[in-house]
Chains A and B, each alone.
Chain A
Amino acid sequence: MIGEFEYVLLTSAAALGDNAYGAAIREQIEDTTGRRCSIGALYTTIDRLESKGLLSTWMGEATAERGGRAKRMVKLTPQGIREAKDFYNAILRVSRNASWAVERRKGIL
């Protein structure tokens, strides 16, 4: 099973779709979690997920706002999607009877 940060990264990349690359994923993670994400943690996790076959990466186009430097684009593999789903379902199952999950369900209902 993947780790917490790996799940956060996979989910952020999935949410960004075709626009998933290093800087965009980092911003997405920091905006949604409110936690700092270092470039080192980001790229080493991307490498780890790629070596596990959960992500694929390739060099994208260069843009002016990046000083003419290329992006490292990221895409989830079918196995990555499966692993992220498994993690999400496990979190849902384990949280079912937790007070905060019950409160949240009541709030939604």
Chain B
Amino acid sequence: MSLSSTTLDLVSRLLAPTEREAVLGDLTELHITGWSSVTGVLNLYLRRRLALWKSWRPWLAAFGLAIPSSLLLMGLSVSIAQSGQRWINTNLLSASHLSLGPGLALLLSNIVLLVAWSFTGAFVMGSISRRTVRISIALSFIPCAFCLARFRVESLSRLCLLLFIIPAAWGLIHGLRFAHIRLRSALFLAAVITVLTIPAWTSKGAWLPNWALSWPAWYLVATAARSTRTFKGQSWLTS
């Protein structure tokens, strides 16, 4: 088996099985062999991948969600880790009794926000552009790699930057499996996020990152409401 035919076999695996069958058959019938056949299949694969980017969805998933959300969620992760450490130091290590003051309330509120923002952001990223999700994931790791390389807080582990990863992975898996969530769940998530961000409305610089992280929750509400309307319309048509 020559190098070009081995390469062709490997490259053609990038195509869907039925398409692979048709394309390899066409190349055989047209006597296109060697490297011409490899470039032909690669050309088709690249055209297919590029065609996906004609839609606004992959752009939104990559540049409206993956990059900004991972950057902002890393900031929140570090803030939570620092607050948690401070709370543990003051309440568990130095004091003899636990105090449930405003510090703990803020910490818990930030943890809930981190989980909700990570879940909803990753859910929307996975559901709006499934076929380009690998690129979106790769792009979300660029800010992570940048921050991990420059992280200089001695009392904290670098892994503190990545506290959002588990809820985000959970949201991404659900987003890839389902196009939308139930309206009730979506409304609950959006309401929790909105209520917990109310204290930040008065601070000048916080509204932009808050809305950059909160819009996926309201997007989920909109898609859930639309699908509920469609379902009701269909059941009305069939009844």
Contact = CB atoms under 8 A, between A and B. Distances in A.
B217 interface: no
Interface residues of B, number: 22
Contact of A65 (B18, B28, B41, B46): B28
Contacts of B23: 22, 39, 43
A71 B24 contact: no
B139 to A, nearest CB: 25
B182 interface: no
Nearest to B42: A40
Contacts of B44: 38-40, 43-44
Contacts of B18: 59, 70, 72
A65 B27 contact: no
A71 B47 contact: no
B26 A26 contact: yes
A41 interface: yes
B93 interface: no
B29 interface: yes
B22 A70 contact: yes
Interface in A14-72: 21-23, 26-27, 38-41, 43-44, 59, 62-63, 65-67, 69-72
Interface in A57-107: 59, 62-63, 65-67, 69-72
Nearest to A27: B30
B46 A43 contact: no
Nearest to A41: B47
Contact of B29 (A23, A38, A72): A23
B75 interface: no
Nearest to A57: B22
Contact of A67 (B19, B28, B45): B28
A69 B40 contact: no
B47 A69 contact: no
Interface string B10-25: 0000000011011111
A44 to B, nearest CB: 5
Interface of A: 21-23, 26-27, 38-41, 43-44, 59, 62-63, 65-67, 69-72
Given A70-B18, A71-B26, 11 more contacts: A22-B26, A23-B25, A27-B30, A39-B26, A59-B18, A65-B29, A66-B26, A66-B28, A69-B24, A69-B28, A71-B25
